[in-house]
Every structure is written in C-alpha cells, then in structure tokens.
Amino acid sequence: MSFESYIPSGPIEQKWDNYKAEQKLVNPANKRKYKVIVVGTGLAGSAAAASLAELGYNVSAFTYHDSPRRAHSIAAQGGINAAKNYQNDGDSVWRLFYDTVKGGDFRAREANVYRLAQVSESIIDQCVAQGVPFAREYGGYLSNRSFGGAQVSRTFYARGQTGQQLLIGAYQALSRQIGLGKVTMHNKNEMMDLIVVNGKARGIVTRDLVTGKIESHIADAVLLCTGGYGNVFYLSTNAMNCNVTAAYRAYKKGAFFGNPCYTQIHPTCIPVSGDYQSKLTLMSESLRNDGRIWVPKTQGEARGAAEIPETERDYYLERKYPSFGNLSPRDIASRAAKEACDDGRGVGPGGKGVYLDFADAINRLGQSTIEERYGNLFEMYERITGENPYKVPMRIYPAVHYTMGGLWVDYELMSTIPGLFVLGEANFSDHGANRLGASALMQGLADGYFVIPYTLANYFAKGGIEKIDTSIKEVRDAQQQSTEKIQSLLSINGKRTPTSFHRELGKIMWDKCGMARNEKGLSEALIEIPALREEFWQNLTVPGSGEQLNQSLEVANRVADFLEFSELMVRDAVERRESAGGHFREEYQTPDGEAKRNDEEFSYVAAWEYKGEGSKPELHKEQLEFENVKLATRSYK
Amino acid sequence: MNLRLHIWRQTGPSDHGMLRAYNVNNVSEHMSFLEMLDVLNEELIEKGEEPVAFDHDCREGICGTCGMVINGRPHGPLSRTTACQLHMRSFKDGDEIYIEPWRATAFPIVRDLVVDRSAFDRVIQRGGFVSVNTGNAQDGNAIPISKIDADVSMDAAACIGCGACVAACPNSSASLFVAAKIGHLVALPQGKAEAATRAMSMVLSMDAEGFGSCTNHYECEAACPKGISADFIAQMNREFMKSVF
Ligand SMILES: Cc1cc2nc3c(=O)[nH]c(=O)nc-3n(C[C@H](O)[C@H](O)[C@H](O)COP(=O)(O)OP(=O)(O)OC[C@H]3O[C@@H](n4cnc5c(N)ncnc54)[C@H](O)[C@@H]3O)c2cc1C
Ligand code: FES
C-alpha cells in the first residue's frame, strides 16, 4: 500500500512539465496490449475512455445507465471555468489556482490545483473543436459569465445546459471510439466489487441490471469515474441513482477514503415541499449574477415580497460581504441563509427559504435579456413551484449538492491500490473543503482528457503487471461475494422498503452531519446509523428476483453501502475539530459566526483505511504544504 | 386528490403485458408525476408486490431517462415538459390516467414502462460526432462563430435523447432525433468537414435500426420536451441529398 502523494519536484509552475518530461511512455504498438476498465461514463469517464482509446489502449467502459449520455454530469447548468483571460480582466493560471485554493479553505493540495488551472485552457479548446455550442458574443467570440468566489469572468457556458453540452461532446468522442471498435461499452452494468490480485487492481465484478447476470472482467488498470455520494443525504440535487457503491467497495478493498466529511451545500435550490419529495432541484449559481438575495428585516413577516418596502429588506450577503456580495462562495452563502432562517426571518412554508429577486435586473436590463440568460431556469422553477419568477421573487434554500471528499489519490490520480485510478467527483483531489462553482466540470474533464492519458502510461511503463485470467481464486471469490450479497438482500423478507431506510438515513445525516455539525449530534449519529443498519438487515423487503430488471434491488444494494459509508463520514466529521469550508463545526467559529480553521493541527487530508467489519477505520494524514499560497483567514468582506 | 391509474405491466420482452388498474389516494398537487408513482410503488412493495418499473434519473428534464406515454401523449399533457417535470397540479381529483411505455419496433420493451433505446446510441456511433482526437484542438477563439449559428446549433443540441419523438410518430421514425444531431453539428464550422459522410451514414443506420420513415406528421415536434423544430428534418433531408449527389 503506498500513501505518498508523489508531487513532482520544481517550482509549482514547472511541476507538470517536469512530470511530463520525466515520465515513462508506452510505445504506440504496445498500447493495444493493455486493457483498461473505465467505470462510469460521466464527464470524467467518457473523456478518459475516449482519449485512451484514441491513444490505442484496449478500453472497456461500464455504466449503470442505459446510455453514457445519461450520466449525472448532464444536469450541470451554470458553466465551466478556464483561465483563458479572454475578458482581459486580470485572470491567469495563477489566479484560478489561487482562487481555487482559497475557495477550498486551504485544504487542497497545491500541485494538483495548479495543474488543473494549467490544463483548463486546453479543455475549452478541445470542447470547441468537438462542436460544443458555447455561448458567443455577437462578434463570434466566446462569452463568459461570473461565478461565486471569483472577481473575474472566467466561466464558459452553453445556455443553462453546460453540463449537457460538455457531456454530449465527450459522449460523442466516446461513441466514435465505440463505433471504431476501440471501446467495448457495457451499458446497464453496475460495478459490484473491485478485483485485487497481488495488491494491484486487476478488474471488477459487475451485475447486468437487465438480466441480473454477475460477471468478472479483468484488466491491467481500473479507472473509477463514478461520481459523488451526495445522495447519502437522500435529498440532494444529485440524480436519483447517484451512489457511493463503487467507491465504497474499493475502499473496503484497500483504497483510502479522503476527507469523507467534506460535502457542499448549495445555497440556491428550490425548497422542500413535502414528505413525498424525492430530490431537490438546483437553481444555478449563475442566477446570482443578476438576482439579489434577501429576507425581511423583521421576524415572522407576514406580507408578500412585493409589499415589503426596500427599507425593510435585508440583502444580507451584500451587507455582510460587500466585496463579493451575492457572489460569495457557496459555503458562506448557504450558512448565511440558514442563519437568517434560524433567526425566524425565512420566507415561504415553514420559514425555510430566502428570496432570490430579479426585479432590479429586469428593470435595468429588460425582461428579454433575463429571459435570454436564464429562460430555461425560470421555466423550470415555474414548473416545479407553480410561481412565475418574472413576477414574484424565487424562493430558495440550501441543499446538498456535491462531495469534495472521495477516494484518496496521489498526483497521478492513483489510489492507494496500485492500478486503481480515480477521476472526477469520485476522487478527493482538487477542491479542498469547498468547491467553487463551475470547477467540477473543469476537474472531471481535466482528469479525463489531459491527466490520465499521461499518468496511466507511466504506470504501465513501469511494468510488473502479470498475466491473469478469470479462473484464479481472487476473481472467483469476489464474484462469489457479490452473488451472495444480492442473495442476502433478496432473502430478508421483512417489512420496510429500501427507500424508507434511505430516507431515514438521509434525515439523520442532514440533521447531524449537514450544514452545521457539533460533537453531540455527531455522537448521536454514530449510535443511530448502526442501529438503522441493523434494522435494514433484519427488516428489509425486496420483492421480485435477482434474474431480471429489479429496481428495488438496485436501490437496496446502494442503500446498504450508504448505511456503512455514512458512519465513516460522521467519524471524519468528529475527528476534524475545526471548521473548514463546507465542514462547519459549531464549536469552532469566529465571534461573527465565520468558519474557524485550525491550521496548526488540521492542515491535512484525512485518509481513512478500512480495517474490516466491526473494526474502527484507521486515520492516516497527508500533511498539506502551502509553499505558494499564504495560509490566511478566508475573507470575502 | 384521489386517482385511478391504468398502468402497463409486462414482466419481460417475451411476456404479452396488459394494463392493470391501481388507486392512489391523497395525492398532493405539488408532487411530481414520478413522485406520485413512487408513492404507489412504496405501497406495492409493502404489500409484497413488485413495483412498477420505470426509468428516471435526473428528475430535472435533462438526462432524457424518463419516458412514458401518459393519456396517449408522450411525457403527458404539458407541452415542452418531460414526465419527470410534470406536476400533479395538471390533474384533478377523480382523474383516470393511462400510463404506457414508448411503443416502437426499434425500442423493445424491457419491463413495464422501461424500453431499450440503445438504437439511438448506435446511430450516434455511425457519425454523430466531430472526428477530433484529444489534444488536436486549436485555440477556442481561433474561429469566430456567429452568435446566430451558435444559437441554432444549441437549439438542436438541446435534444435529450428521450425518444418521445419516436413514440409520437405514427411511423416510429427517429428523424427528429437524427436531424437534431445533424443540425447541431452542421451549424458549426467544426462540424462541416464531415457533413456529407455524417448525414449519409446516420440516415442509413437509422433505417437499419428499424425506425420508420418521416411522412411529415409533425407529431414529433409537438411531443418533443425540448421544443426541437421539425425544420431540422428538412435540413437533414437536404444534407442527405447533398451527400448522395
Ligand atoms: C444540478 C447540478 C448542477 C451542477 N452544475 C455544475 C456547474 O454548473 N459547473 C460545474 O463545474 N459543476 C456542476 N455540478 C457538479 C458536476 O456536475 C459534477 O460534479 C460532475 O459532473 C461529476 O462528473 P463525474 O464524471 O465525476 O461523475 P458523473 O457524471 O456523476 O458520472 C458517474 C458515472 O459513473 C457511473 N457509475 C457510478 N457508479 C457506478 C457503478 N457502481 N457501476 C457502474 N457505473 C457506475 C454512472 O452511471 C455515471 O456514468 C453540478 C451538479 C449538479 C448536481
Ligand atoms: S428523469 Fe431526467 S429527463 Fe426525466
């Protein structure tokens, strides 16, 4: 097991170049002899699978979706960052790097972030070449907008559907390779386990969701591009099927899990409307370019928004953070909303909402400009709430959105299991304790298009990967365990549905490990979660069989992992006795309620090692060195 | 509100399938249509019955996973709205609602409301892309693209690949889907180099997959949750003719 970040030598500006100059290569004729398994075909996975196939590797890709085009990446709305400085407004690779490290509350690894900022420019070029219809100005040049946590305009976008267009670009590149026979695509196949042979990742066990068939696939390297685990909270902005299973099972096979407690709560989502609620809908951060956030100044205000005069409104972000205003970073904006609502000044049912108001922007720019910029988001809002946001302000509330935590990886994106690489939201790498808007799409594509093609070659060229086939014990055992797991889920014959457990777990997590956390609540969660898990294994019911499409079985299989993983998250949240970014421990705050870091003791990445069922996981620490950015209290005032 | 649902149940591709009736009570107008089905499914599971299989994921109208014919209309009564974005305020107490899968030869039924749409992927694999390898690209601003062209391209690229166009068409044609891809790419300079081969091979592959041909019913345009215009079909036909001659 290796737990070393392998950051290349040299000044930060030269590290990636130095790496590329010194790395080992695989000669073109040999590439097809290497088989690579890519699990997940969102932005990270599709980009990686396509790029590796173009290079000549023998690629197999897997997704539980019926097509790669359905991955959760498709739902990203607002945009993708890149340090192009097309606006001439002072942007640079350095500034994107700096903003990201600061935005992450100084809990990210500098070298990775710098590389991300460097390759960001190539991403835009690549996407334009693929035919991504980015927004353009009348002169024909690419248009930009602003996102939170930055004072430059560096976000590229395609209406309110940026993720869709980027994923379609990557999907088309992947489809081209499938058509050429360079990628074997396995849709509707869910990874059940990782196969580890002699300490190296050598394959996966999958279940065909239509036939129920459980199979083993072996390879020379495995790439996990399986997305984030925000659905551990049940209600989140993630697509319904997002889950932690692939990452968690790799963790159980020896991959360390990095910073599991770092979750992002997005400030602008449509509030919960009832118990039946199945997911939450994001209203893109880009809306904060033109929308103003406010609550009434007085508690228990009964008047509608229109009747409340200007002087009786509290534009709290503009008041508290004048230099960033409505574009303050997500963690800060979310907490400020919670604070206002906890103070009894929230609006809408249950007082769990704040206004996002476009009246000023409509007066200034005209309704048609606002429609052009955000038309589809306004429509979406109206469809869900039945209210017209051109006439009355939107009501929004924070919701779980993204997970900065993920499997721990080194500079090469390799986990602690040699041969297991982790890309995109599934890894922990670049966003520290808080991700800035429009940076996840950038990171997923950076990992897939521009990092893994280099670092994977270095791994292969080092050699030492022996020939194996599916008849060996490790493979048979892994397959057997997966088969038994499915059988056991089907044979409990209790009374409760898989979703009912998921919902209950989500409530525990939101109440005790959500936007604000404290020792007491976390300790309670550490008792409640195992109890719920026990009930799950005694009282679950899953109708139907394992030999055909069985959606409750799929849910049950994923919820089983959430019920274990959640405990790891809580443990991590307990251990991190400081507040940093999205991790707000109530015990550690400044007098004016801001997150209070403790750099002396907690300037590290928490990397958790699985120690077997019933044993406590072991915490390893990767000390973070800040050589280029000065550690400072994050201020957006 | 209380509703009576008639839902298509079919255990697998070889089963015959039939409509079965279910009552759902106390439905809130704020629920989405799929949340209403969730409520039914939870009740069925608790009774030990198999829930209704239906596809869904984002529940935001963007992934294209959901798809069902509701009272005879793909995605239901609201125009430009996917089934997942339809809310129960579009219905009223006592309504009878018929829910069926997409029906088309090229989309075999997997189970209940779930169909196999992999034919769409195969059509894309035959040319729905720009042949550029990672790393080949020049600067993103090197070729200015007029805002008008970029907007037209985006109008077509908004397709979510749900298959409602096929389900709505009396001939089960995939013309709108294929035309949207051709229209997305041909509007941009990057997509022009391969325009002829793309049109040719995508159109031929659409036929080979068993989709019917277009006889100008425009049902596809009416059913498309993204409002993609049937004008793209005329453009596709022109591109196809150009590729033949
Ligand atoms: C509503 C919303 C809006 C967003 N907007 C933005 C934005 O504007 N800008 C931005 O930068 N970021 C945004 N984000 C974040 C960003 O979209 C995601 O972080 C990013 O797309 C994740 O990409 P990915 O490739 O890592 O994973 P995903 O796109 O989640 O893909 C995961 C893939 O893994 C597969 N998979 C998972 N588990 C298994 C398994 N066990 N077996 C087989 N396959 C598996 C899935 O099928 C899927 O193909 C947004 C997120 C949300 C929720
Ligand atoms: S579930 Fe994604 S479009 Fe309906």
SS3 of residue A422 by DSSP = strand
CA A408/CA A251 separation, integer angstroms: 10
Q: Fill in the amino acid letter for A26.
A: V
User: A500 to chain B: nearest residue by CA?
Assistant: B42
The pLDDT of residue A637 is above 90: no
Q: Chain A partners of B111 at a C-beta cutoff of 8 Å?
A: 548-549
Domain shared by A489 and A393, yes or no:
no
C-beta separation of B123 from B209 below 8 A: yes
CA A410/CA A120 separation, integer angstroms: 20
Q: B87-126 burial, b for 16+ CB within 10 Å, e for fewer?
A: bbeebeeeeebbbbbbebebbebbbbbbbbbbbbbbbbbb
Taking an 8 Å cut-off on Cβ atoms, the answer to whether A136 and B145 are in contact is yes
Domain shared by A479 and A393, yes or no:
no
Q: Is A141 part of the contact surface with chain B (CB cutoff 8 Å)?
A: yes
* For residues A143-155, average pLDDT: 90
Residue A594 domain flag: yes
User: B50 to chain A: nearest residue by CA?
Assistant: A543
* CA end-to-end span of chain B: 60
Nearest CA to ligand 2 atom 3: B61
Q: What is the ipTM of this complex?
A: 0.98
Taking an 8 Å cut-off on Cβ atoms, the answer to whether B46 and A495 are in contact is yes
Tokens (6 digits) for A371: 């429609």
Could you say which of A84, A133, A495 has the minimum Cβ distance to residue B150? Answer: A133
Pick from A358, A382, A401: which residue ends a domain? A401
C-beta separation of A219 from A213 below 8 A: no
Distance from Cα A245 to the centre of ligand 2, integer Å = 22
Eight-state DSSP code of residue A278:
-
The pLDDT of residue B237 is above 90: yes
The Cα of B126 is separated from the nearest Cα of chain A by a number of Å equal to 6
Distance from Cα A103 to the centre of ligand 1, integer Å = 21
Residue A479 domain flag: yes
Taking an 8 Å cut-off on Cβ atoms, the answer to whether B64 and A69 are in contact is yes
Whole-model pTM above 0.80?
yes
Q: Which residue do the tokens 């390759």 mark?
A: A119
Residue A74 domain flag: no
Any idea what the CATH number is for the domain that residue A584 is in?
1.20.58.100
CB A70 near ligand 1, within 6 Å: no
- Which residue from A582, A609, A580 is spatially nearest to A107, judged by alpha carbons? A580
Task: Give the tens place of pLDDT for each residue, B184-233.
Answer: 999 999 999 999 999 999 999 999 999 999 999 999 999 999 999 999 99
Residue A108 domain flag: no
C-beta separation of A405 from A236 below 8 A: no
Q: Report all structural domains of chain B as residue ranges with CATH numbers, in order of start.
A: 3-110 (3.10.20.30), 118-244 (1.10.1060.10)
Tokens (6 digits) for A108: 């990210």
Task: Give the tens place of pLDDT for each residue, A596-614.
Answer: 999 999 999 999 999 999 9
Q: Which residue do the tokens 């392998």 mark?
A: A6
The pLDDT of residue A593 is above 90: no
Q: Is B208 part of the contact surface with chain A (CB cutoff 8 Å)?
A: no
Residue A503 domain flag: yes
- Which residue from B108, B96, B51 is spatially nearest to B70, judged by alpha carbons? B96
Domain shared by A604 and A498, yes or no:
yes
- Pocket residue to mutate for ligand 2, from B62, B78, B102, B159, most atoms within 8 A of Cβ: B62
Q: Given CA atoms A123, A128, A134, A136 in this order, what sign does their dihedral have? A: positive
Residue A147 pLDDT: 84
Pick from A348, A381, A401: which residue ends a domain? A401
Task: Give the tens place of pLDDT for each residue, A367-387.
Answer: 999 998 888 889 989 989 999
Distance from Cα B160 to the centre of ligand 2, integer Å = 9
Domain shared by A503 and A611, yes or no:
yes
Could you say which of A129, A210, A544 has the minimum Cβ distance to residue B132? Answer: A129
CA A321/CA A323 separation, integer angstroms: 6
Q: Is B239 part of the contact surface with chain A (CB cutoff 8 Å)?
A: no
Domain shared by A481 and A617, yes or no:
yes
Question: Residues 6 or more apart from A607 whose CB is under 8 A from it?
Answer: A3, A256, A257, A258, A408, A416, A619, A620, A621, A622
C-beta separation of B227 from B80 below 8 A: yes
Residue A350 pLDDT: 87
Taking an 8 Å cut-off on Cβ atoms, the answer to whether B124 and A175 are in contact is yes
Give residue A65's pLDDT band: very low, low, confident or very high (50, 70, 90): very high
Q: Is A165 part of the contact surface with chain B (CB cutoff 8 Å)?
A: yes
Domain shared by A396 and A517, yes or no:
no
Pick from A351, A377, A401: which residue ends a domain? A401
* For residues A59-73, average pLDDT: 98
C-beta separation of A175 from A233 below 8 A: no
The pLDDT of residue B76 is above 70: yes
Residue A311 domain flag: yes
Q: Which domain holds residue A589?
A: 473-623
Residue A543 domain flag: yes
* For residues A415-429, average pLDDT: 97
Residue A2 pLDDT: 62
Please state, in angstroms and as integers, the Cα–Cα distance from residue A240 to each residue in A78, A140, A229, A280, A554, following that order.
20, 38, 11, 10, 12
Count of A-B CB contacts under 8 Å = 221
Note the ligand closest to the C-alpha atom of A73.
1
Q: Which residue do the tokens 């060996």 mark?
A: A472
Residue A388 pLDDT: 96
Domain shared by A275 and A366, yes or no:
yes
Kindly report the average pLDDT of chain A as a whole number.
96
Domain count along chain A: 2
Note the ligand closest to the C-alpha atom of B83.
2
Q: Is B10 part of the contact surface with chain A (CB cutoff 8 Å)?
A: no
Task: Give the tens place of pLDDT for each residue, A116-138.
Answer: 999 999 999 999 999 999 999 99
Residue A202 pLDDT: 98
What is the percentage of chain B residues whose pLDDT exceeds 90?
99
Domain shared by A396 and A492, yes or no:
no
Domain shared by A366 and A481, yes or no:
no
The DSSP bridge partners found for residue B8 are B19
Q: Is A380 part of the contact surface with chain B (CB cutoff 8 Å)?
A: yes
Q: Which of A292, A330, A395, A597 is catalytic?
A: A330
Residues with CB under 6 A from ligand 2: B 56-59, 61-66, 82, 84, 160
Any idea what the CATH number is for the domain that residue A393 is in?
3.90.700.10
**What's the 3-state SS for A426-475?**
HECCCCCCCCCCCCHHHHHHHHHHHHHHHHHHHHHHCCCCCCCCCCCHHH
Task: Give the tens place of pLDDT for each residue, A330-344.
Answer: 889 999 999 999 999
Note the ligand closest to the C-alpha atom of A75.
1
Q: Is B55 part of the contact surface with chain A (CB cutoff 8 Å)?
A: yes
Domain shared by A485 and A386, yes or no:
no
Q: Chain B partners of A130 at a C-beta cutoff of 8 Å?
A: 129-130, 132, 190
Distance from Cα A402 to the centre of ligand 1, integer Å = 9
The pLDDT of residue A634 is above 90: no
Domain shared by A373 and A487, yes or no:
no
CA B77/CA B54 separation, integer angstroms: 18
C-beta separation of A402 from A266 below 8 A: yes
CB A238 near ligand 1, within 6 Å: yes
* For residues B86-109, average pLDDT: 97
* For residues B84-94, average pLDDT: 97
Residue A443 domain flag: no
* For residues A47-59, average pLDDT: 98
SS3 of residue A398 by DSSP = strand
Could you say which of B56, B60, B128 has the minimum Cβ distance to residue A75? Answer: B60
A330 is catalytic: yes
Domain shared by A498 and A618, yes or no:
yes
Taking an 8 Å cut-off on Cβ atoms, the answer to whether A278 and B57 are in contact is no
Q: What is the CA angle A306-A309-A311, rounded to 5?
A: 145
Residues 71-100 of B with CB under 8 A from A: 78, 80-81, 85, 87, 89
Residue B159 pLDDT: 98
The pLDDT of residue A72 is above 90: yes
- Which residue from A47, A5, A39, A18 is spatially nearest to A448, judged by alpha carbons? A47
Task: Give the tens place of pLDDT for each residue, B130-173.
Answer: 999 999 999 999 999 999 999 999 999 999 999 999 999 999 99
Residue A1 pLDDT: 55
